[in-house]
Amino acid sequence: MTKDIEHRLKNKDINLTAMRLLVLDFLTKQVAAISLNDLEKGMGPSDRITLYRTLKTFEEKGLVHSIEDGTGATKYALCEDNCDGDHHHDLHVHFYCNTCKETFCLPNTKIPEISLPKRFQSEEMNLIIKGICDQCHPD
Amino acid sequence: MTKDIEHRLKNKDINLTAMRLLVLDFLTKQVAAISLNDLEKGMGPSDRITLYRTLKTFEEKGLVHSIEDGTGATKYALCEDNCDGDHHHDLHVHFYCNTCKETFCLPNTKIPEISLPKRFQSEEMNLIIKGICDQCHPD
DNA sequence: ATGACGATGCAATGCTATTGCAATGTTAGT
DNA sequence: ACTAACATTGCAATAGCATTGCATCGTCAT
Ligand SMILES: [Mn+2]
Ligand SMILES: [Mn+2]
Ligand SMILES: [Zn+2]
Ligand SMILES: [Zn+2]
């Protein structure tokens, strides 16, 4: 229902536009994180830069988070509800499948506490695990 | 001593060249991981592409490992002795300092075991922690 | 000496991210 | 409804880093 999409934008203090509704709708349908290229191909004909800025806006407002999975292209995925622009609470592990080349959020797999050397102070953590995803698992 | 540098190359099955000796010597003097740009600036006048391929060769042979710290530029740092091209054993944490913008290997801070969801199989892990390094720590 | 092979230098290209700016759309006050 | 202020969009241009092609050069074994 498009009303639901609208509410999600409003709740994050994002102005409604046709493009943003379409992008958010597209994002909710994804099972894996997507790159700007994926978004461009998945959407109808639309301007790449506008899509880029839409993702940036979504990220600033805490609607999506970005993932650097080492492929060179930044991936984006929807945030959990309690994220805002300043504090993303997506401290979960991200998984890159070497077989299907997809990047997944593992929202239930949290990054454990790490005890750093003296006087190192952690502000942010990013854990990427590469391997074989459940879909590509053999047997 | 340059003999030591030579041995390290030979041990990793890397042919000796003047350029490689210089690059490895430069790498051993670094306290933080360096980018291709850092290397280019730190070395005498030398061709950027040759430096690029030198780093690639070192990585393939298990002499250095590369680090994606999210800055956009790949960083490189010397491996521990037991690495080879196929299996890098640098499963340590990397730390990016938001203040001095340097990336450090934390060889004594290992990435803990993570229990993944059913049928996800880990082959490689990459943990970047961002924050304030010991040198930039206040008080 | 010469031929094979690896390393180097330079040019060119690909790809992603990012910005400038003008045009367009939206909103709010009058 | 009119208009000024503001946000969004579309297109062009630029910046950076990564990567490849190719000709040249150096080294080593025969
Ligand atoms: Mn995620
Ligand atoms: Mn390291
Ligand atoms: Zn897979
Ligand atoms: Zn620092």
Report the pLDDT value the prediction gives residue B22, as an integer from 0 to 100: 96
The CATH number of A2-131 is 1.10.10.10
Report the pLDDT value the prediction gives residue A134, as an integer from 0 to 100: 97
Query: pLDDT tens digits, residue range B66-93?
Result: 999 999 999 999 998 888 777 776 689 9
pLDDT bucket at A89, cuts 50 / 70 / 90: low
The pTM assigned to this predicted structure is 0.91
Q: Average pLDDT in the A25-30 region?
A: 96
Both tokens of residue B107?
Answer: 């060889």
Q: Which residues of A are annotated as a binding site for Fe cation?
A: 87
Protein residues with beta carbon less than 7 Å from any atom of strand D: A 14-15, 17-20, 46-47, 49-50, 53-54, 57, 72; B 35-37, 49, 52-53, 72-74
Cβ atoms of residues B93 and B127 within 8 Å = yes
Report the pLDDT value the prediction gives residue A90, as an integer from 0 to 100: 67
Q: Which residues of A touch B132 (CB under 8 A)?
A: 120-121, 123
A92-97 vs A121-132, strand pairing mode: parallel
Burial of B30 (0-12, 13-18, 19+ CB in 10 A): middle
Cα(A108)–Cα(B130) distance, integer angstroms: 22
Query: pLDDT tens digits, residue range B5-44?
Result: 999 999 999 999 999 999 999 999 999 999 999 999 999 8
Q: Which residues of A touch B105 (CB under 8 A)?
A: none
**At A11, which amino acid appears?**
N
B101 phi/psi in degrees, rounded to 5? 65, 20
pLDDT bucket at A83, cuts 50 / 70 / 90: confident
Cα(A96)–Cα(A85) distance, integer angstroms: 25
| pLDDT(B117) > 90 | yes
**At B125, which amino acid appears?**
M
Cα(A25)–Cα(A29) distance, integer angstroms: 7
Cα(B5)–Cα(B28) distance, integer angstroms: 9
Report the pLDDT value the prediction gives residue A1, as an integer from 0 to 100: 61
Tell me the C-alpha to C-alpha distance, in Å, between residue B78 and each of A126, B17, B33, B135. 22, 18, 8, 21
Tell if the CB–CB gap between B114 and A118 is shorter than 8 Å. no
Q: Which residues of A are annotated as a binding site for Zn(2+)?
A: 97, 100, 133, 136
pLDDT bucket at A21, cuts 50 / 70 / 90: very high
Cβ atoms of residues B28 and B76 within 8 Å = no
Cβ atoms of residues A126 and B119 within 8 Å = no
Contacts of A115 (CB under 8 A, 6+ apart): B109
Report the pLDDT value the prediction gives residue B105, as an integer from 0 to 100: 96
The single residue listed with the structure tokens 């998984």 is A95
Cβ atoms of residues A39 and A23 within 8 Å = yes
